[in-house]
């Protein structure tokens, strides 16, 4: 089972760059398969670049730093 606190700590590392552009990220859930659901907030919510932000920063960093993370998806 993936430690949600560890994910939150890594998101805290990513957060300043998102906040610099008026956005933020919030952990919503982690499933048994290592899929992390996050909610992009502020300027990031609805931004046309949000999928790139998820893939190129949030997902990449979480996979590097948290064993077991397989994918990051936007919360529904």
Using CA atoms, how far apart are residues 46 and 6, in angstroms rounded to an integer?
A: 27
Using CA atoms, how far apart are residues 50 and 72, in angstroms rounded to an integer?
A: 12
**What is the pTM for the complete model shown?**
0.92
Tokens, residue 8 = 């939150």
Tokens, residue 48 = 């046309």
In order of their start, the domains of the chain are 4-74 (3.30.300.130)
Using CA atoms, how far apart are residues 76 and 67, in angstroms rounded to an integer?
A: 24
**Model confidence at 63, in pLDDT bands (50, 70, 90)?**
very high
Segment 8-23 shows an average pLDDT of: 95
Segment 16-35 shows an average pLDDT of: 95
Tokens, residue 55 = 């893939």
Q: What order of strands is seen across the sheet that includes strand 71-74? A: 23-30, 35-42, 71-74
């Amino acid at each position: 089972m993936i430690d949600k606190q560890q994910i939150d700590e890594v998101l805290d590392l990513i957060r300043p760059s998102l906040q610099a552009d008026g956005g933020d990220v919030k952990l919503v859930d982690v499933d048994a398969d290592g899929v992390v659901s996050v909610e992009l907030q502020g300027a990031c919510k609805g931004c046309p670049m949000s999928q790139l932000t998820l893939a190129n920063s949030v997902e990449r960093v979480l996979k590097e730093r948290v064993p077991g993370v397989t994918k990051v998806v936007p919360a529904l």
